[in-house]
Amino acid sequence: MTSTLIDNIGELVTCDGPPDDPLGVRSAAAVVIQDTEIAWIGPRAVAPEADERIDALGAAVLPGFVDSHAHLVFAGDRAAEFAARMAGETYSAGGIGTTVRATREADDQELRSTVARLVAELIGAGSTTFEIKSGYGLTVDDEQRSVRIAGEFTPEVTFLGAHVTPTEFAHDRAAYVDLVTGAMLDACAPHSRWVDVFCDRGAFDADESRQVLSAGRRAGLGLRVHANQLQAGPGVSLAVELSAASADHCTHLSAGDVDALAASAGLAEPTVATLLPGAEFSTRSTYPDARALLDAGALVALATDCNPGSSYTTSMPFCIALAVREMHMTVAEAVLAATVGGATALRRQDVGRLRIGGRADMVMLDAPSHIHLAYRPGVNLVAGVWRAGRRVIGRVR
């Protein structure tokens, strides 16, 4: 086994501190990586020797970001749709059909190349753990190949056959739900960890969503829900009722939804409110009320929602800056949501924090403080990225 000392860290953000200091910030710190894990954290003045030493030159070091919501398996381009929205058209879920047609026509290598490109972008922006959903195939074969390709890049694969009803089932929604919960689920479950459903206007109602989630649970999959993006509805309450790991979007919440998510935070298997500000930015929609959720005690995550239609970004730092500026989160809250929050939304204990024995996933910034993530929006501050102890991104500071 080899060891690496990352020395002369100006600000070490562990995201593993006590309740009154959850960021767990340390100054003049050092970290020792042993193989794939963190072996030592402490003051640099007493750091042990290691096989290799890296001088952080006073930079800030944080846990790798955890992106718990991304749609990376697709083909085609929807730039014209984005331009139309910026010119005043209202967003709806109908544009998904455009990507479905392109994805069905693409071969495996085209899809794989797109995922590889976007994963490289995610990692380059500091995300070391990420989820990938299917949902742009909507046939048994196309959904199966989507989750199979996603599994080449991450263990956090989500089967989203219930994204929208494809045009060939427009007049027989029940038959499509039967397909999703039958042959499609059978084909995709062996390649997936999670099942998801878009419970919203233009997608699936509460009864259909319950059918999809219940079938997924019987197949051994964890639950996730696209909830309340386009309008208030049953998605959040259904997610909490079924102990889904996350309710994602949460743009239109009732007081009851907020209370339910807050009450869930105290459970052994909480439902995390995953907020996706890139979608609101790209659709000129109302941002979620993060303050209401945080002040009520709900668990909050941030994710990119990278997809070709409504949030074509792979940058967690951009989403952190949006959360601070547009959703009135503090920088500390946004960083925690992008690390610990995302890990909780994926029910992972090994990532999202820097702690002895945890996976050595880290981001070094070309900046002295985590505050620069919001202070310098749009600037690539990522100077180094470690995944499971291996430096995968590094540039001269």
Instruction: Please write the tens of the pLDDT for every residue from 168-224.
Output: 999 999 999 999 999 999 999 999 999 999 999 999 999 999 999 999 999 999 999
User: Does 397 have pLDDT greater than 70?
Assistant: no
286 CB neighbour count, 10 Å cutoff: 10
One domain, residues 143 and 11:
no
Identify residue 339 by its one-letter amino acid code: T
Mean pLDDT of the chain: 96
- Please state, in angstroms and rounded to a whole number, the distance separating the CA atoms of residues 391 and 397: 15
Write down which residue in 324, 345, 366 finishes a domain.
345
Q: What is the pLDDT of residue 92?
A: 62
Domain boundary residue, one of 304, 330, 345: 345
Q: How far apart are CA 360 and CA 141, in angstroms?
A: 37
Which sign does the torsion angle of CA 335, 91, 292, 239 carry? negative
Note down the domain range covering 59.
3-64+352-394
Do 59 and 71 lie in one domain? The reply is no
**pLDDT reported for residue 89:** 82
Domain count, the chain: 2
| Backbone Cα Rg of the chain | 21
pLDDT tens-place string over residues 376-393: 999 999 999 999 999 999
Residue with tokens 């090994």, as numbered in its chain: 350
Residue 269 and residue 122 in one domain: yes
Residue owning tokens 């459970």: 267
pLDDT in tens, 11-58: 999 999 999 999 999 999 999 999 999 999 999 999 999 999 999 999
- Per-residue pLDDT of 145-176, as tens digits, reads 999 999 999 999 999 999 999 999 999 999 99
State the pLDDT at residue 259.
98
27 Cβ neighbours under 8 A, 6+ residues apart: 10, 11, 12
44: CATH: 2.30.40.10
Q: Are residues 50 and 130 in the same domain?
A: no
